[in-house]
A and B are shown apart, each in its own frame.
Chain A
Amino acid sequence: MKKVNLVAHFNEQLFKTDLKATDKQGILEELVNLIVENKFIRNSEIVLEMVRQREKLGSTGIGKGVAIPHGRTTATSEVIIAFGRTDTPVDFDAIDKKPVNLFFMVIAPPNDSENTYLPILGTLVTTLSHAETRKKLTHVQSYQEFLGIFTEKIYD
């Protein structure tokens, strides 16, 4: 699996460290709304339907306080990553049954010409498997600091 420079896919408008939602559905809605309000996608219903249905396949809460809701939709032409964090961890039906406070929503078009979607998912999972990275993300305050976390290390 090729490694992807995640920084190239982040956007300051899609960085939110004070998510307000207190449950899984609320988190999905808040992240989709963040993407729509910032005009990355026009149709919130289609994207919300897709991420909700995706959770039926299996929770995207991959454990250790991290969830990566993701999927492809025809409602976008580019890969979008939104980062959100809650002060209080939320029950996300994660595989380790622990609540989640770090969320990366990845939305991809049906066909991304550079084939970055799956490598982005893989790189995110690998990067977030490091306890030090999760700890930094839990305390990160600014977008620049956030970018620094993903540029300071090249993970194997």
Chain B
Amino acid sequence: MTAIIEAQDLRRTFGAVRAVDGMSFAVEEGSICGLLGRNGAGKSTLMNLVMGQDFPSSGTVRVLGEDPVENARVLTRTCFIKESQSYPDAFRAKHVLATAPHFFPHYDHALAARLVADFDLPVNRMVKKMSRGQRSALGAIVGIASRAELTLLDEPYAGLDAVARHVFYDRLLEDYARHPRTIVLSTHLIDEVADLLDHVLVVHQGRLEIDAATEELRSSAATLVGRSADIDAFVEGREVLGRERIAGIASVTVAGLSQDDRARAARSGLEVTPVSLQQLIVRRTGAPTSEEVAS
């Protein structure tokens, strides 16, 4: 395994706010990594640090083995698209698309043209007059067509509707399959991207809550559904991540179920279903563990 990004005890404070509070992790070269977390969890600050756009208060981050700050060797191999990207006032979308190849050496014009059609982007419109979704589409086009060795996408589809988001996922995966590279994607639409991700980093209040392969994370918990009494008996003494109760039926998300446990649960008449990544992360990042839906 080869790391393209490596962070060691990375910290960034703004006054009393610890936006990034001691994160250590590595992102594998060639993977699609999801950076997940709530608003204000520190995702954007972390990405800014990785791309040398901001400076760590302490700790280190290495991209391609080097400090990314003011490092053209690293930066010319990257593309960082963020929702808050600002464009010069007079720029129309076509100016952005004409400028991009100067800055991204692997930029593919034909692909960009296809994506413009796919997203139905009005290239003659001033960027500042575009809707949030159109600006996101513009960013997504540049992000995919630039084919940088390391692509960071910070909330790349804010304002995009469901259809456009699926166009984005499809095109991203399609091009990734043809031209493998490393992609780090931050989002809070966890279930939508879950199938794309090889690895997830979940940040919560500036700290790294989860750093795991997607599959491993998914199998780390399961949801059990059955009669309340049976459920209560089964989960006694286990780590319960979430609990819902509707009339006499309970649904409980439990961590660390072994194969034997699953078999035993099935024998006691409980239904074992895979937990959604979103549920799991919501549980781990602050939602109350018990939820009375109705009684």
Do the two shown chains form a genuine complex with each other? no
Interface residues of A (CB under 8 A from B): none
